[in-house]
Amino acid sequence: MSIIYDWYEAPRTALKQQEEGDVTLYPRIPKSQTVDIKSIAKEIQDASSFTASDVQGVMVALSELMKMHLAMGNTVHIEGIGYFKAELGTLEKVTASTKFKGKKVYVDGVGFKPDKQLLRQLQRAKLVRTKTAWHSVELSDEMIEQGLTSHFASVQLLTVKQFCFLFNQTESTARRRISSLVDAGKLKNIGHRPLALYVPCPGCFGK
């Protein structure tokens, strides 16, 4: 078994470090294949006396029970894998004087803490650097300006996936670049969670 990885620059510090003559790199796993329940059930069937349909039935039941317990605020521990727990966030900054605090809270995601035995097994895996550059290409402000001006000439809205496709960016990088454009007053989010929909602000990207 091998884990394919590549080196990435820290986006917020790369420019400053380049000016200083060196850039700190961080290892990260690039795009990888997603293995679904059907594939796992088939692999278990091939390696045991269980049928794929039996395995799928158990996994669906496990999924439903996990959702129920997480929705109750419980931590779910699957031995050999790890701990799952709902994580909370706020829709806006909340202080002691904020009114109706309860309406500002929402479930932001699910946290995961791996079991030690899972980590030990993964740490024994072979690490191989990719021969293909999967990570985002460097983008200048001029490239973004030209690309989004062309995009908004024929389309009213922009999504994160569209930004990824337009500029060959990973999703995390696309979200970061879009966030900086929002902060700069060039884009505005008119969507709602979980789908963000961005439009150009007046005077930006040909509008």
CATH number for position 150: 1.10.10.10
Q: Is residue 38 domain-resident? A: no
Q: Is residue 177 domain-resident? A: yes
The mean-pLDDT minimum among 7-21, 38-52, 126-140, 192-206 falls in: 7-21
Beta pairing, strands 198-200 & 82-90: unpaired
Q: State yes or no: pLDDT of 141 exceeds 50.
A: yes
Q: Could you give the C-alpha distances from 144 to 56, 139, 147, in angstroms and in order?
A: 45, 7, 5
Q: Which domain holds residue 159?
A: 141-200
Higher pLDDT, 140 or 22: 140
Number of folded domains in the chain? Answer: 1
Q: Is residue 119 domain-resident? A: no
pLDDT reported for residue 15: 46
Q: State yes or no: pLDDT of 11 exceeds 60.
A: no
Query: Average of pLDDT values for 77-82?
Result: 96
pTM: 0.59
Query: Average of pLDDT values for 190-195?
Result: 80
Q: Is residue 125 domain-resident? A: no
pLDDT reported for residue 14: 44
Query: Average of pLDDT values for 144-149?
Result: 92
Alpha carbons 29 and 8: distance in angstroms, whole number:
10
Q: Is residue 169 domain-resident? A: yes
Q: Is residue 151 domain-resident? A: yes
Q: State yes or no: pLDDT of 104 exceeds 60.
A: yes
Give the whole-number percent of the chain exceeding pLDDT 90: 55
Question: In which band, very low, low, confident or very high, does the pLDDT at 29 lie, cut at 50, 70 and 90?
Answer: confident
Higher pLDDT, 123 or 168: 123
Q: Is residue 192 domain-resident? A: yes
Provide CB contacts within 8 A for 177, sequence distance 6+: 139, 144, 163, 167, 169
Average pLDDT of every residue of the chain = 86
Query: Average of pLDDT values for 23-28?
Result: 77
Question: In which band, very low, low, confident or very high, does the pLDDT at 102 lie, cut at 50, 70 and 90?
Answer: very high
Q: Is residue 180 domain-resident? A: yes
